[in-house]
Structure 1
Amino acid sequence: MTKVHFIAIGGSVMHQLAIALHKKGYQVTGSDDEIFEPAASNLAAEGILPAAIGWFPERITPDLDAIILGMHARADNPELLQAQQLGLKIYSFPEYIYQESLHKKRIAIGGSHGKTTTTAMIMHVLHKIGKAFDYLVGARLEGFSQSVNITDAPVIVCEADEYPASTLEKRPKFHFLHPHISVLTGIAWDHINVFPTFEIYKEQFAIFIRTMEAGGTLIYNNADETLRQLVEKEGTHLKLVPYNTPIHMIREGVTRIFFEEGFADLQVFGEHNLLNMHAAKLVCNELGVDDETFLGAIADFTGAAKRLEVVAKTASSVIFRDFAHAPSKVKATIQATQHQFPDRKLIGVLELHTYSSLNKDFLHEYAGAMDKADVPVVYFSKHALELKRLPDLDPTDIKVGFENERLQVISDKDALQAFLDQQNYRNTTLLLMSSGTYDGLDIAALKNKLP
């Protein structure tokens, strides 16, 4: 029996991989210095929750086939040091995924935005038509009990993240997947704590393209000029498949998409979703799924969690929650809601929560991002700045960075609650954009404000 030990098993994706390998029949153990919900309950339900919190080097024994190292484990972790002393095989998450998929057709969905949604669309279609596949995706998806699944399926669909793989391996995660089919959705500078310049960030995508095996298929967003130039320079050894926004129309708040002679009325909307859907269709085509089958399956796709997720709606108003936080994502999400409901007032509330977004030197990247909102609001908390050890932000600097004098800047949760309580939501779209929680704001309670 294959024996695997996880150092930092409580991570949101790590614990899902642990469960997947346990279900596959592997002997799985793990340790962590903190395990929050829902990871604790999920691990307990499978019988693999560590009996005690902390690091126990005595658990690292020579008979282990693999050590899988989580992101928040430090280089001086006592279990890691013991594993190194014993000469055990140590893998980051993506390195291990690659090992488990050596005999599968690997599909990787990369890019600065749209990775989760594009991956989710592919998974939705393959699941609906009964095709066996493994997967890893960064969000909760309807119809899937896990975000990672490893079986003996011949195909694996991976959301391919550009963030570093582990404390030992600083290279981006997506460099380790070596896909046969890949998607790149676009390049927009992010993660400035890891990639301090745009050129360094862009080079990670160049490496990803260069290291794909000759003859592989690269599906890329042709509307992104930076990406297009990079693909044309670095991808000469690949089958290149460009995509653009497909033909579509909007009628009474419903988007209809057209591929060749077929069409489908969608549950999702926005140009970014249409671009993602075109990429997903092309991947499915590569896997033998024709356009008619794809359209029939994608029609009831409702999106990934927190991706233009409907919190509440009435005949005249709607509240969306969206994961958008990077500049390109914010701009695309605001434009999508404005185009879908052009006759409604749009209140856009963005929380600055990531290291990049809370950094004064990065704020200019948001220039114009919220111009389409009728009522643009930016929220940040002093607590988030303290956690990331960043200096205080001046509201004036935020307005200058966004190049928007109409922008309202709020830095107190109670003040944000009061602002939201005071709004008139008749014939209105409220768009809440954040990778955080607005300091625990009761978002569900806002449904009571809709007329």
Structure 2
Amino acid sequence: MKFHILGICGTFMGGLAALAREHGDAVEGSDQNVYPPMSTQLEALGIALASGYRAEHISGDVDEVIVGNALSRGNAAVEHVLDAGMRYTSGAQWLAERVLPGRTVLAVAGTHGKTTTSSLLAWILESQGAQPGFLIGGVPGNFEVSARRGAGACFVVEADEYDTAFFDKRSKFVHYRPRIAVLNNLEYDHADIFPDLDAIKRQFHHLVRTVPGNGRLIVNGEDAALAQVLAMGCWTPVDTFGIDADAHWRARLLAADGSAFEVHRHGEHIGTVHWPLLGRHNVMNALAALAAAQAAGIDARVALPTLAGFRSVRRRMELLADAGGVRVYDDFAHHPTAIRTTLAGLRARAGAGRVIVAIEPRSNSMRLGAHAVELAPSLDAADVVVFLRRPDLPWDAEGVIGALRGEGVAAANVDALLAALRLHVRAGDQVVFMSNGGFEGAPLRFAAMLSQG
């Protein structure tokens, strides 16, 4: 078959393209913004990419159009598909119908940590010979692709609560019908489609309803919102994980930065982990992945040493450069909790060294100002924050900048942001770029500036 994917450069839709190509299908696609790493992966697969949503970009011999959830009525490509009577579906529905049947689906859901936990879970399964398939919202370092069909029974999917498509407003994860589901955490996000936290809880409970009684729920035992979701009704055995909570799976930190920790299961010490990741949040992600792998038949005690070889996902505290005594990281964090926990891990590693953050408020919730109150406190671990305040930002960022614990600098565009960083950065600094978009290539541009002296 031949598919056209609208929104192909999103991590989810790009992963679908890879799965279709692996199956032998012909794929083309279009997107408004084409940038790495997904564009690089797609071009390597021989997929033709078109910039912009226009009717002429959709070939006449396409059998089906897969519509991304960023597109809505009024979009020229969407209107053409409807007017021409073309066959169309959503990405989540396509995955559910064409890839997941007959597989043991392990779905990883949560406000934070989905990509890292999914990657950890896929790596644990891979290291034990399970040859899993996966679809992950990023590029795991151990695989260098975001999706593959896999030869084994298991399929790991990053399970997003965002809505499915303009014609299907359910959360994507209700399509996947997992046998094992990880509920990593739950906070308010996606202010553009959810009015409040209770609305998201209801969607999470819809996911809980789809997990069979002989399956397993892996649930953060420290999260009150998830406890409330389970209180709405649960028909599946639950394994909890936590550090501070009395949980089935527990960790004891041996290093403040999260680089070393013990793992306990039902009170029994099963091993110690020394690994390259930072932060308490990543220790929690590891516990969730180990518990899910155990539920899938993997002996976690045997699998534990493989975490030392885990290579993090691109754009999750990805070290881009170490030049002139300055370390430059690229990070996807775009919610105050993710920002806070990521910086806490880096602060523990940096000690008395300076932490400098360049941040772009790009997600829908950020742009709407839904997290404005929590944003400044989430940056407390930073000594300097350079804030990309574009002229079209619909809320006043001055209050956030003024409330920062460290020094705050506003920049109207990326060039000004890079110039400000150049003035502030000195040897010994840790510089983190935080955005869930391309950031106009700012992280790599800054790394290049440092390397040029």
TM interval, short-chain normalised: 0.7 to 0.9
Worse-superposed segment, 204-213 or 7-16:
7-16
Does residue 303 (structure 1) correspond to residue 302 (structure 2)? The answer is no
Contact 2:20 2:27 in 1 (8 A): no
Look up the equivalent residue of 2:113 and give its one-letter code.
G
1:70, distance to aligned residue in structure 2 (A): 3.0
Match of 1:313 among 292, 316, 322: 322
Q: What's the TM-score, normalizing by structure 1?
A: 0.84
Worse-superposed segment, 202-211 or 405-414:
405-414
Structure 1 unaligned blocks of 5 or more: none
Q: What's the counterpart of residue 397 of structure 1? A: 399
Contact 2:130 2:153 in 1 (8 A): no
Q: Could you tell me how far apart the structure 2 residues matched to 1:324 and 1:196 are?
A: 22
Q: Could you tell me how far apart the structure 2 residues matched to 1:9 and 1:270 are?
A: 33
Q: What's the counterpart of residue 184 of structure 1? A: 183
Q: What's the counterpart of residue 247 of structure 2? A: none
Q: What's the counterpart of residue 211 of structure 1? A: 210
1:322-380 CA distance string (max 9 Å, x none): 11111111111111111233232222332212222122454113252112223344332
SS at match of 1:170: strand
Structure 2 unaligned blocks of 5 or more: 244-250, 264-268
Q: How does 1:40-59 map to 2 (within 5 A)?
A: 46-49=45-48, 54-55=54-55, 59=60
Look up the equivalent residue of 1:68 and give its one-letter code.
I
SS at match of 1:335: helix
Q: What's the counterpart of residue 435 of structure 2? A: 434
1:156, distance to aligned residue in structure 2 (A): 0.5
Q: Could you tell me how far apart the structure 2 residues matched to 1:97 and 1:223 are?
A: 32
Identity of aligned residues (%): 25
Change (3 A) 1:7 1:324: closer
Q: Could you tell me how far apart the structure 2 residues matched to 1:449 and 1:222 are?
A: 48
Worse-superposed segment, 34-43 or 327-336:
34-43
1:275, distance to aligned residue in structure 2 (A): 0.3
1:214, distance to aligned residue in structure 2 (A): 2.9
Change (3 A) 1:396 1:32: closer
Q: Could you tell me how far apart the structure 2 residues matched to 1:266 and 1:310 are?
A: 15
Change (3 A) 1:364 1:164: same
Q: What's the counterpart of residue 90 of structure 2? A: 92
Change (3 A) 1:52 1:368: closer
Change (3 A) 1:48 1:79: farther
Contact 1:425 1:449 in 2 (8 A): no
Number of aligned residues = 430
Q: What's the counterpart of residue 147 of structure 1? A: 146
Q: Could you tell me how far apart the structure 1 residues matched to 2:50 and 2:110 are?
A: 39
Q: Could you tell me how far apart the structure 1 residues matched to 2:41 and 2:430 are?
A: 35
Q: What's the counterpart of residue 168 of structure 1? A: 167
Does residue 338 (structure 1) correspond to residue 362 (structure 2)? The answer is no
Q: What's the TM-score, normalizing by structure 2?
A: 0.84
Q: What's the counterpart of residue 248 of structure 2? A: none
Match of 2:34 among 19, 36, 39: 36
Q: Could you tell me how far apart the structure 1 residues matched to 2:308 and 2:291 are?
A: 16
Q: Could you tell me how far apart the structure 2 residues matched to 1:129 and 1:10 are?
A: 32
Contact 1:216 1:238 in 2 (8 A): yes
Worse-superposed segment, 367-376 or 66-75:
66-75
Change (3 A) 1:349 1:50: closer
1:4, distance to aligned residue in structure 2 (A): 4.6
Q: What's the counterpart of residue 411 of structure 1? A: 411
1:423, distance to aligned residue in structure 2 (A): 2.6
Contact 1:334 1:348 in 2 (8 A): no
Does residue 258 (structure 1) correspond to residue 266 (structure 2)? The answer is no
SS at match of 1:94: helix
1:112, distance to aligned residue in structure 2 (A): 0.4
Does residue 248 (structure 1) correspond to residue 246 (structure 2)? The answer is no
Look up the equivalent residue of 2:389 and give its one-letter code.
F
